[in-house]
Structure 1
Amino acid sequence: MSIFSVGVSGLNAAQAGILTASHNISNASTPGFSRQETVQGTNIPMLTGSGFQGQGTHVVTVKRIYDEFLGRQVLSAEASASEMDSYLAQIKQIDNLLADPNAGLSPALAAFFKGVQDVAANPASIPSRQSMLSAAQSLVARFQSIDQRMTEIRDGTNSQIMGQVTAINTYSAQIADINQRIILAQAGNQTQAPNDLLDQRDQMLKDLNKLIRVSTLTQGDGSFNVFIGNGQPLVVGTQSYQLQAVASRDDPERIVVAMKGVGGTTLTLPDSQITGGTLGGLVAFRSQSLDAAQNAMGRLALSLAQNFNDQHHLGMDLTGALGVDFFNLSNAVPTVRANGGNSGSTLVTGMPTVTIDSQNIDELTVSDYTLTTDGTNFTLTRLSDNVTTAITTVPQLVDGMSINTSTWTSLVAGDKFLIQPTRVGARNIAVGFSDARMIAAAAPVRTSAALANTGTASINSGTVVAPPPPNPALQNKVTITFTSATTYDVLDVTTATTLATGVVYPDPLPATGGVVTYNGWTAQITGNPATGDVFTVETNANGVADNRNAMLLGALQTAATMLGSASGPTASYQSAYSQIVSEVGSKTNEVTSIGASQQSLVDHATESLQQLAGVNLDEEAANLLRYQQAYQASAKIFEIASKIFDEIIALGR
């Protein structure tokens, strides 16, 4: 090789360095670009009598400066940060809704019970009664408004899930396409990497990873495979697999993610496999926060309405009629949905029946359930913690529900139903009537002592403890006549039926402590009766000024009627609502904190990667000067070689 060839090799190497530095500078702001540098090597030296003489240089490759380990750290942190950002954006809507001092439930709940207290203070006042009905309407409207807003958030989540699935499919198709281009580029020279194509693919993967957490596996041909969840393939070489947003087989109102397989079949992916990224945040928000919050509001509405109805039944209205349902719960019943994969017959007939047990309503949870069969037996699974219960009796009480499987007539192993006990509770409650006179503020019975009594015994006002049977015997007149100072007889005057004779006082049977119980009411006698003393329990005729039942209705505001435990109910309506607000607020703070820490990890990992792979304009400017000087020095070789050649020619003349 001549001195000219050595100079040419230097010029080419310097030119390659200038081009690489210029390429770096031009793409300094290009997302995902990794800086490049030329790698030079010496040409094979020539053996001469005086030893090996150098033959110049050549550019071995243009190297992409990138660290795969740091890149994976960035991907992992970004997937988690995007998930928390998505989760936070959604849960903030619920947090703001429930905690709002005006739009939340607390003011409507307080206003309703204030209306009840006003009726208790003025039981005969029609305006007070009308005000109570208006407050009840407002409370129902507030329940419905909160539920409607949560339903809108649910619909919005469904729409966003569909949008994210579309975006994921777009990225997976693009990655499969660029895999093909990388394979073709490397086919021409297996030792040279298509740096810019690799950067583009990594940037696409980075964008995809912000939508859903992905993992990759690099192949020998330069392509890589992309996986989600527990190894479900999204991209394999040049083939991309499409995700689909489909209605859940359990609940058609719920959009879930499925993977389209060979032959067009779809496989629904469990929520647990949709993690990371915006899509993972949406799915986690819905299953962890939205479902529980909406179910909790439904439970609160059902509990309040049922408790109020139960007490209202024990009262009497202005017309003298016994109390009826104050709240209408005919549409606020548990939702039972047949799974779309069930055998055909159970999609229409043979449904199990599920009702709320009014006596155990405090045991309701905020979970949904699945009821499955193996063809013979039935198993109920609480989805919040996967606790299972075998259904062995008909009906069987579980968590405040009465479940009857005898109506499930078409048993096929594997068939199942989704049970949502409280989901529509807040949506579908209503006020049961509009006539203010129907508010049962009075107690339906009253007691009295005969004026001719000579003893010192007295009887309390009496309490109604249970709704009457179909026979309105609660309104029958009953007398308690002492045949001696220590015994008495009980007579139903209305039906001329002797109920008991010779009952010992003060420890009568079947009740104790001077208590007489009959047909839904109880009255207590205290003191020292005399022979011939008579006490009467009868219908509270014309009891328009009686407020005893209204006071008991008002007492429900602070009574522990919810969140049952082994020792009974533990929370009032307000405390139960406060718990909902607290749980949503705590989750919001938790997601905010996790999101901030994940973003810090993203910033740190990105900074570390940029320090290695990012373009430093000052450094590249220095490289340009260095390669310029190398180019000029290589050009100088030609000038010197030319002079030497000219002198050699001159010597030969």
Structure 2
Amino acid sequence: MSLLSIGKTGLYAAQAALATTGNNISNANVAGYSREVVVQAASTPMGGTNGYIGTGTQIAQVKRYSDDFLNAQVRTAQASSSGLDAYQAQVQQVDNLLADTTSGLSPALQDFFASVQNLTGDGAGVSSRGSFMTSADTLAARFQSMNGRLDEIRKGVNTQITASVTTINTYANQIAQLNDQIGKLTDPSGLNPPNELLDKRDQLIMDLNKQVKATVVPGDNNSLTVSIGNGQPLVVGRSAFQLAATNSPTDQTRTTVGYVLQGKITPLAESSLTGGELGAALQFRTQSLDLAQNSLGRVAIAVATSMNDQNHLGLDGNGKPGGDIFTIASAQVTKNVNNNQTSTTAITASVVDATKLTTSDYKVDFDGTNYNVYRLADNKKTVISPFPQAQAQVIDGLAFSVTGAADAGDNFLVRPTQAGASNFKLALTDGAQIAAAAPIATSVPLTNSGSGKISAGSIDQTYLGAPLAGPVTLTYSTATATLSGFPAGQPVSMTVNGTTTSYPAGASVPFQDGASYTVGGMSFMLNGAPGNGDTFKIAPNAGLGDTRNASLMADLQSKNILDGGKATYQSAYATLVSTIGNKTREVQANAEAATSQLTQAQAAANNVSGVNLDEEAANLLKYQQAYQASGKVMQIADTIFNALLQIGH
């Protein structure tokens, strides 16, 4: 090959190197761009017995600097960082709502029980009854407003899921199209793919990981296979599969994610979709939002149930037995839309013991033989037995009643507490309906000769089944040291120093100083030394000026009612605030760590694929000199050729 041709190959190579370097500089700030370098190789030399002489250079390839391992680390870090940032933004809203010292639940509870205590201060007068009604209505409004805000956040999660699914589908289609284009534009050797399209595809996959964690596996002809969740393929070659935002089969108000295959949508397990904004939305809803709403509803149900029960044990301002103060939400039961439509199964769940309520939802399914109740918080299984039921089966304070027939696999979702706060409302319409007085009154006649005393007395739920129709007079006999005159046909129990002894109806009941007696749901204490024939009277109360039942209502504030008698209303709520607060701080710390990890991973990847402008500037000078040198070779070749022509003349 002539010297002119050698110079020409060098000129072309330098020109390509200059163009590639210029392209690197121009795209230095383009997201996802990987630097390129022209790789040269020596052309096949010519020669024979006297040796081989080079014939110039050629461009072997335009190499794209990108490390698959480092890129995978960046994708993983990106999915984690984006997910934690999104989770933090969501849980922070709940934390701010619950912990607010002004608009949170704690101030409203304190104000309400302050008004209950005020009832005892002025003998349950008109003023204190009005204050009670106002604070009770304020408490109901606070429960409803907080639950309404949680509902708004829940709707926002649904919107986020729908938007993420749309974005993921768009990315999947674009990646599949790029797989197709890259495959068509790659030469058979595979050494010269379209680098810019590879960069664009990698950036799309990076953006995809901002929505959900995706796994990437190399395929044939420079294609990539992308999968999510438990291995569900999203992109295979030039084919893209689709996700769908769909309503949960057991809760039509809850948006979840389904996988579309042959026109059929199959719901994906929410726990399988991790990372990115989609994974964060699903995780936040399950771990924090559901917990917050169920916990708030549980407190509302406990307040309503215990206050109603205590009001039932008193007399209102009109001398009538007390009714409900607050409305109590019923457990929500929804059936799976995929159940056999001919099934006749009906399920109800009612709160019978608020002290045992949990914050979990429940699933009831039929396995072909038995109905089973699963507590979703820990998947604890309880079999409904016997079936058919003679009476409802109580599980965690809920009475489950199941009737009808189902097919194997049919299932239902039971949410006992989620609507507790939204349906917490004031049931009273008049302050006079507050049952501040106890329904019984005790007295000791002035004619008694001894020092015997009887306490004011109290009642329990048993009393409501057979209230006093008239006065009961207990008479003491010194000869037998016993009491007589207890209501006919009712057994009596006596408790002394924690030991209880039961006596059948009509039996003699001994008197003992300081003993407590219970009969027909009424309890009272006798002490002192009564004389022979001394009497103690128990009679229906008129209700006016008596605030003993109001005092018992006020005591509920400090009574351990929830968690099986281990937590008060406010301590249960404080536990919720603490749990969400701790989760918020945990997510915040993890988000900061994930951001740091992402920065480090990106730095490592950029060391390989990033454009260094200083290096590129140096390369410009190097390739400029190579270009000039190759031009000089061609100039010399021209001079030699002209000299040869002169010799010929």
Normalised TM-score (structure 1): 0.94
**For the Cα contact (< 8 Å) 1:490–1:500, is it kept in 2?**
no
Q: Which residue of 2 aligns with 1:24?
A: 24
Q: Which residue of 2 aligns with 1:7?
A: 7
- What SS does the aligned partner of 1:623 have? helix
After superposition, the Cα gap between the structure-2 partners of 1:392 and 1:5, relative to the gap in structure 1 and judged at 3 Å, is same
| Structural mapping, 1:176-187, within 5 Å | 176-187=176-187
Q: Which residue of 2 aligns with 1:411?
A: 406
Q: Which residue of 1 aligns with 2:360?
A: 367
After superposition, the Cα gap between the structure-2 partners of 1:42 and 1:124, relative to the gap in structure 1 and judged at 3 Å, is closer
Q: Which residue of 2 aligns with 1:448?
A: 443
Task: State how far apart, in whole Å, the 2-side matches of 1:98 and 1:191 are.
Answer: 59
- What SS does the aligned partner of 2:438 have? coil
Picking from 503, 506, 511, the partner of 2:511 is: 506
Picking from 325, 329, 351, the partner of 1:356 is: 351
| Structural mapping, 1:53-72, within 5 Å | 53-72=53-72
Output one character per residue of 1:348-370: Cα deviation in whole Å (capped at 9) or x when no partner: x431121111xx32111111110
Output one character per residue of 1:38-64: Cα deviation in whole Å (capped at 9) or x when no partner: 100001111234311111111100000
- Structure 1 residue 467: Cα displacement: 5.1
**For the Cα contact (< 8 Å) 1:477–1:494, is it kept in 2?**
no
Q: Which residue of 2 aligns with 1:388?
A: 381
After superposition, the Cα gap between the structure-2 partners of 1:261 and 1:502, relative to the gap in structure 1 and judged at 3 Å, is closer
Q: Which residue of 1 aligns with 2:108?
A: 108
Q: Which residue of 1 aligns with 2:452?
A: 457
Gaps of 5+ in 1: none
| Structural mapping, 1:67-146, within 5 Å | 67-146=67-146
| Structural mapping, 1:632-647, within 5 Å | 632-647=628-643
Q: Which residue of 1 aligns with 2:468?
A: 474
Q: Which residue of 1 aligns with 2:36?
A: 36
- Structure 1 residue 469: Cα displacement: 3.9
Task: State how far apart, in whole Å, the 2-side matches of 1:480 and 1:461 are.
Answer: 15
Q: Which residue of 2 aligns with 1:484?
A: 478
**For the Cα contact (< 8 Å) 2:488–2:505, is it kept in 1?**
no
- What SS does the aligned partner of 1:353 have? strand
**For the Cα contact (< 8 Å) 1:309–1:326, is it kept in 2?**
yes
Q: Which residue of 1 aligns with 2:522?
A: 521
Output one character per residue of 1:154-208: Cα deviation in whole Å (capped at 9) or x when no partner: 0111011101111111111111111110011015663312111100000111111
- After TM superposition, the structure 1 stretch with the greater mean CA deviation from structure 2, 479-488 or 177-186, is 479-488
Q: Which residue of 1 aligns with 2:372?
A: 379
Q: What amino acid is aligned across from residue 505 of structure 1 in structure 2?
A: P
Q: Which residue of 1 aligns with 2:301?
A: 302
| Structural mapping, 1:221-300, within 5 Å | 221-262=221-262, 264-300=263-299
| Structural mapping, 1:296-335, within 5 Å | 296-329=295-328, 332-335=329-332
Q: Do structure 1's residue 627 and structure 2's residue 633 form an aligned pair? A: no
**For the Cα contact (< 8 Å) 2:440–2:540, is it kept in 1?**
yes
After superposition, the Cα gap between the structure-2 partners of 1:179 and 1:506, relative to the gap in structure 1 and judged at 3 Å, is same
- What SS does the aligned partner of 2:330 have? coil
**For the Cα contact (< 8 Å) 1:466–1:520, is it kept in 2?**
yes
Task: State how far apart, in whole Å, the 2-side matches of 1:141 and 1:339 are.
Answer: 33
Identity of aligned residues (%): 43
Q: What amino acid is aligned across from residue 620 of structure 1 in structure 2?
A: E
After superposition, the Cα gap between the structure-2 partners of 1:42 and 1:494, relative to the gap in structure 1 and judged at 3 Å, is closer
**For the Cα contact (< 8 Å) 2:484–2:509, is it kept in 1?**
no
Q: Do structure 1's residue 597 and structure 2's residue 593 form an aligned pair? A: yes
**For the Cα contact (< 8 Å) 1:370–1:419, is it kept in 2?**
yes
- Structure 1 residue 425: Cα displacement: 0.4
Task: State how far apart, in whole Å, the 2-side matches of 1:15 and 1:494 are.
Answer: 114
Task: State how far apart, in whole Å, the 1-side matches of 2:470 and 2:489 are.
Answer: 5
Q: What amino acid is aligned across from residue 597 of structure 1 in structure 2?
A: A
Task: State how far apart, in whole Å, the 2-side matches of 1:434 and 1:311 are.
Answer: 18
Q: Which residue of 2 aligns with 1:156?
A: 156
Output one character per residue of 1:276-326: Cα deviation in whole Å (capped at 9) or x when no partner: 101000000001100010000000000011111111111111111111111
- After TM superposition, the structure 1 stretch with the greater mean CA deviation from structure 2, 453-462 or 196-205, is 453-462
**For the Cα contact (< 8 Å) 2:244–2:259, is it kept in 1?**
yes
- After TM superposition, the structure 1 stretch with the greater mean CA deviation from structure 2, 479-488 or 588-597, is 479-488
Q: Which residue of 1 aligns with 2:496?
A: none
**For the Cα contact (< 8 Å) 1:458–1:527, is it kept in 2?**
yes
Question: May I ask how many residue pairs the two structures share in their alignment?
Answer: 631
- Structure 1 residue 142: Cα displacement: 0.2
Q: Which residue of 2 aligns with 1:570?
A: 566
Task: State how far apart, in whole Å, the 2-side matches of 1:191 and 1:325 are.
Answer: 81
Q: Do structure 1's residue 339 and structure 2's residue 336 form an aligned pair? A: yes
Task: State how far apart, in whole Å, the 2-side matches of 1:127 and 1:82 are.
Answer: 56
**For the Cα contact (< 8 Å) 1:444–1:475, is it kept in 2?**
no
**For the Cα contact (< 8 Å) 1:213–1:276, is it kept in 2?**
yes
- Structure 1 residue 468: Cα displacement: 3.2
Output one character per residue of 1:618-641: Cα deviation in whole Å (capped at 9) or x when no partner: 111111111111111111112211
- After TM superposition, the structure 1 stretch with the greater mean CA deviation from structure 2, 454-463 or 198-207, is 454-463
- Structure 1 residue 451: Cα displacement: 1.9
Q: Which residue of 1 aligns with 2:495?
A: none
Task: State how far apart, in whole Å, the 2-side matches of 1:513 and 1:77 are.
Answer: 71
After superposition, the Cα gap between the structure-2 partners of 1:320 and 1:494, relative to the gap in structure 1 and judged at 3 Å, is farther
Task: State how far apart, in whole Å, the 2-side matches of 1:576 and 1:423 are.
Answer: 16
**For the Cα contact (< 8 Å) 1:258–1:266, is it kept in 2?**
yes
Q: What amino acid is aligned across from residue 559 of structure 1 in structure 2?
A: K
Q: Do structure 1's residue 538 and structure 2's residue 544 form an aligned pair? A: no
Task: State how far apart, in whole Å, the 1-side matches of 2:470 and 2:52 are.
Answer: 128
After superposition, the Cα gap between the structure-2 partners of 1:501 and 1:379, relative to the gap in structure 1 and judged at 3 Å, is closer
- What SS does the aligned partner of 1:140 have? helix
- Structure 1 residue 86: Cα displacement: 0.8
Q: What amino acid is aligned across from residue 476 of structure 2 in structure 1?
A: F
Output one character per residue of 1:456-501: Cα deviation in whole Å (capped at 9) or x when no partner: 2111111112253454x33531110123350221155999xxx965
Task: State how far apart, in whole Å, the 1-side matches of 2:235 and 2:468 are.
Answer: 74
Task: State how far apart, in whole Å, the 2-side matches of 1:483 and 1:202 are.
Answer: 98
- What SS does the aligned partner of 2:429 have? coil
**For the Cα contact (< 8 Å) 1:345–1:410, is it kept in 2?**
no
**For the Cα contact (< 8 Å) 1:460–1:525, is it kept in 2?**
yes
Q: Do structure 1's residue 431 and structure 2's residue 426 form an aligned pair? A: yes
**For the Cα contact (< 8 Å) 1:477–1:492, is it kept in 2?**
no
Task: State how far apart, in whole Å, the 1-side matches of 2:270 and 2:463 are.
Answer: 49
- What SS does the aligned partner of 2:602 have? helix
- After TM superposition, the structure 1 stretch with the greater mean CA deviation from structure 2, 136-145 or 51-60, is 51-60
- After TM superposition, the structure 1 stretch with the greater mean CA deviation from structure 2, 77-86 or 432-441, is 432-441
After superposition, the Cα gap between the structure-2 partners of 1:284 and 1:530, relative to the gap in structure 1 and judged at 3 Å, is same
Output one character per residue of 1:102-125: Cα deviation in whole Å (capped at 9) or x when no partner: 110011100000000111111241
After superposition, the Cα gap between the structure-2 partners of 1:60 and 1:519, relative to the gap in structure 1 and judged at 3 Å, is same
- Structure 1 residue 430: Cα displacement: 1.3
Q: Which residue of 1 aligns with 2:500?
A: none
- Structure 1 residue 268: Cα displacement: 0.5
Task: State how far apart, in whole Å, the 1-side matches of 2:57 and 2:505 are.
Answer: 121
Output one character per residue of 1:392-426: Cα deviation in whole Å (capped at 9) or x when no partner: 14421111111122x2x122111011000101000
**For the Cα contact (< 8 Å) 2:190–2:222, is it kept in 1?**
no
Task: State how far apart, in whole Å, the 1-side matches of 2:515 and 2:191 are.
Answer: 102
Q: Do structure 1's residue 195 and structure 2's residue 195 form an aligned pair? A: yes
- Structure 1 residue 513: Cα displacement: 6.1
